[in-house]
């Protein structure tokens, strides 16, 4: 896996890697997405809820997004949509501007020979020569992508959609089934009984 020193040597990338536990292409994609978005929106890391991040996958990239943007579940400005897409939306509540970045197909879908060799490697059937050939092809392709700049990894679209509202604070009350305390806004009414989402299943 090729990631250039010009990225891995940066202190903010190293902070992402420490948080995540290792370096990988997934973390790097999240790093590039967040970096591009902050630059595009002309903002810095969130102190409170002034920024919003919406991720459409639960992969390694999400850790870099949280570290760089300051958007977290705890602050209520980090949102997860289980779409299985390498897509990221970032918004600035102060200006109302938001941008969505979608990883381009060519980043994940290598040319035919590289793809064939990757399949062989994953199946455990690749020879040492095929592994070396794959590594050479992959590194060459990634070098070209990185050399063209981080914006070439993504299709970038400015959005006019309203951003999610600020986090709300609600009292907790007991679920009528399990008795555990639940944020009131998360309870569901079932024939007059207030049930948590676990009990209503």
| 7-19 tens-digit pLDDT | 999 999 999 999 9
50-75: pLDDT as tens digits: 999 999 999 999 999 999 999 999 99
Architecture of domain 168-201: 2-Layer Sandwich (3.30)
97-138: pLDDT as tens digits: 999 999 998 888 889 999 999 999 999 999 999 999 999 999
Whole-model pTM? 0.85
**pLDDT of 149:** 87
**101 neighbors 155 (Cβ within 8 angstroms):** yes
- Looking at the chain, which residues constitute the CATH 3.30.60 domain(s)? 168-201
3-class secondary-structure state, position 53? strand
**pLDDT of 106:** 82
- Looking at the chain, which residues constitute the CATH 3.30.1330.130 domain(s)? 5-159
**30 neighbors 57 (Cβ within 8 angstroms):** no
What is the distance of C-alpha 163 from the center of its chain? Answer: 17
**pLDDT of 172:** 94
Q: Which residues partner with 88 through β-bridges?
A: 55, 101
Architecture of domain 5-159: 2-Layer Sandwich (3.30)
**52 neighbors 79 (Cβ within 8 angstroms):** yes
**17 neighbors 27 (Cβ within 8 angstroms):** yes
**pLDDT of 166:** 82
**pLDDT of 163:** 81
pLDDT at residue 201 tops 80: no
| Residues written for the chain | 201
pLDDT at residue 36 tops 90: yes
Which residue, 54, 136, 139, is CA-closest to 90?
A: 54
């Amino acid at each position: 896996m090729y990631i250039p020193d010009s990225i891995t040597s940066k202190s903010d990338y190293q902070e992402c890697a420490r948080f995540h536990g290792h370096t990988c292409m997934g973390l790097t994609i999240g790093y590039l997405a967040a970096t591009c978005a902050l630059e595009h929106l002309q903002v810095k890391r969130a102190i409170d809820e002034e920024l919003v991040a919406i991720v459409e996958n639960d992969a390694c990239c999400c850790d870099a997004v949280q570290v760089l943007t300051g958007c977290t579940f705890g602050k209520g400005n980090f949102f997860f949509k289980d779409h299985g897409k390498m897509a990221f939306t970032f918004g600035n509540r102060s200006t109302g501007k938001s941008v969505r970045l979608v990883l381009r197909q060519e980043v994940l879908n290598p040319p035919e020979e590289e793809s064939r060799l990757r399949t062989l490697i994953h199946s455990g059937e690749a020879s040492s020569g095929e592994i070396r050939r794959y590594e050479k092809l992959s590194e060459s392709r990634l070098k070209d992508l990185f050399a063209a700049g981080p914006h070439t990894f993504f299709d970038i679209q400015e959005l006019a959609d309203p951003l999610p509202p600020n986090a709300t604070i609600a009292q907790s009350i007991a679920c009528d089934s399990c008795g555990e305390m639940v944020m009131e806004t998360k309870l569901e009414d079932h024939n007059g009984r207030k049930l948590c989402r676990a009990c209503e299943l």
